[in-house]
Amino acid sequence: MVYVQRDIDGRLLRVERAPFADMTEALAVEDEELHAWLAMREDVHERLSKLKNSDLEMVRVLEDLVDVLVNRGVIRYTDLPEAARNKLHARADTRAKLGGLSGLLGDEEHRFI
């Protein structure tokens, strides 16, 4: 058995292995609705994970874009807000420091970190 909480429309909100204060009923572990809810949550988790990973990749794209715009004279580095400049500088500094470790960590193609 698992213990669940439903919303006012009867949809599952929460599932726990032990009884909890706001539970509304118990379901058998084999319940089809439970399995569908768990599968949907796993799908949502996977999509959020992919989105998070693409956010991390986009950070680098935006850093490169800023570099191109500054190098071509489209914008000045000082046109950026101070907070943005500080973050870009901190990331560039960290990447530069990690650059000396590249032989230890592997090349970009292998991405050990």
Which pLDDT band, with edges at 50, 70 and 90, does 108 fall under? low
Lowest mean pLDDT among 17-21, 74-78, 94-98: 94-98
- Identify how many contiguous H helices and E strands the chain contains and give both numbers: 3, 3
What's the chain's Rg over C-alpha atoms?
A: 24
**pLDDT score of 71:** 93
Query: Cβ–Cβ contacts within 10 Å for residue 4, how many?
Result: 21
If you average pLDDT over residues 105-109, what whole number do you get?
50
pLDDT band per the 50, 70, 90 thresholds, residue 112: very low
Would the pTM of this model clear 0.85, i.e. be above it?
no
Question: Over the stretch 34-66, which tens digit does the pLDDT of each residue have?
Answer: 999 999 999 999 999 999 999 988 988 998 999
